[in-house]
Structure 1
Amino acid sequence: MEKGLVLFPTVLLQLEKATEIQDSLKIKACLFSICTSLMVRGWESLSHRVTPKIRKVLENILLWPSVEDEISKVQHGCIDCLALMICAELQHLKSSKTSGGEKIRSTGKDTSGYSVLDYTIHCLIEDRSNCSSIPKLSTDILTCENPLPIPFRLCMANVIISACQKNPESSKKTFARKALPPLIHSLKFSTKFLNFVQVISVPEVRAACIQVLFSATYHLKSTLLPVSSDLLKLSLRFLEQGSEKEKLAGAKLMASLMASEDVILENISEGLLEARSVLSKASLSDPSRDVREVCAKLLACITPL
């Protein structure tokens, strides 16, 4: 084992001690060491026996109230660290070509059979920690009966966005295949009953999920072709019925789709007539001035001269 990985337990020990006294400088130094190892050694670092314990510490830090600028900086470091874990995991899936690509070798008993990405998405889209669908959250203060804190879930959205930005070209298809379907499903309208089936009850979290989809549309480009029509439908539904944050996020998602490659535009072309109608109505009558202005600009982009 290389020297850097031999030192992983020492880094964990220092991280735990620094976390106990909220020593932001030492925490950032530990995070830098972990992130560097993940970038250089990838799966070898992720599969180390102490990595699940490192994840537990990172999650506990993300539960801290962001009352100080230094705390926010530390939490951003934790988000990037978790994102790099996802990148290492996806690159391993791509290179190893495991059967179905859905499960990976365990990195510890508390994550057996589940990937970092699956776990992160679960934390984002589930209003409560569901022990029947995934192992108990590694943060001790969360149980199956308790709702997950909204700021923590928003951090999970930022982890996925960061991973989307950091993923190399070779892993983009794997990321899209694993990350997008559960996010889309959690937000999707039920066409069978014509009712809005919301797995996620908190508007702020739904808006964060749409932001994740916006980031994916921007960074993954034509990789999103199979789900591009679903993304357009989601953006329209939230523009019609969402909160102000959801409407603005939906507008950003639509703008990103409209700025996509030709293959995406061709695939969503059938939905542009409905989009024009929704945007026209919102630009004239939405209570929010920001929403009206954004929709008016989008409408101008798809209205023939």
Structure 2
Amino acid sequence: MHDTYKIEGAEHFVHSGQKAVMNDPNFEPDFQKRLQEFKDLVVRLVAENKPASFIHFGDGDWYFLKGQSVGSAKPGKRALSVSYDKIDIPRFREGFLKCDYYCVEYMEPQNRPRLYEIYPQLKEPGKTIPTEFLYGLVSSRWFFRQFKGKIGLIGAGEKLDLIKELMKRSEYRDYLGLDKFNDYIKIPQKFACDNVDNTIEMVKKQLLSADPETKVYLYGVGHVKSELIHHLPKIKNAIYLDVGGGIDGIAGILDPERPYAYGWTNYRLKNYDYGKIDHLAYNTGKDNKLKVLS
């Protein structure tokens, strides 16, 4: 990987399909400049107490927003249990565009063309932000250092319960550089898209009673985000950052070959029941930084 694409404090496993672009400094020559601009933007929004939503578009979102039964977008798998004719896909498509900032993985060459296929208006230069920034700033723990005492999480209830248990261990708090997460805003681990209005209401109730000191929410909620997230800044004044699998990292179940996750240490609990956790693509067999806590 060329130095152009390094994020301080994070390591990246370069897949075979990424080698051509990540070894080419001219593929995205302004990566470092844009990374600093992104950090400055988030810091400024928090300092000025301005609400904003950042949403990521990935390959799974492409399938979901096109109503195609593939991977996480397949009915019965994760996002929904009902068939696509039972949910309002145009509503999700429109909801995505109601967010304030749009992120996409630049180092996965197929993702930007897929985003532009659905949203051609986002092809204009400067309309998107590399999602790699969000991944890398979780793995490097920059978000935690920068916004200590101001961070809440939004994600599957089972994963947030696990994070709560991890945060009782001083070694883990020291690793993150945090004393606490202010809020744990829960959604269903599976099938949150079946009745999106119920999911919105569930999150709304929690945000209305959330810690007033929370200014930044890191979230990973799956495909329901397209119609959920744009509502949230209007409910609680905060910045909502789509860190996706970063929530898995905080829960100690992040695949090290995910973007900018190769240097992350997964902390796990010795006697915890992990059977109830949706592990996505995590495989302990290739995790050489796994650390078990009592």
Given the two structures, how large is their TM-score scaled by the length of structure 2? 0.34
Larger radius of gyration: 1
Q: Which has the higher strand share?
A: 2
Q: Which has the higher helix share?
A: 1
Structure number with the bigger relative contact order (C-alpha 8 A, sep ≥ 6) is 2
Given the two structures, how large is their TM-score scaled by the length of structure 1? 0.33
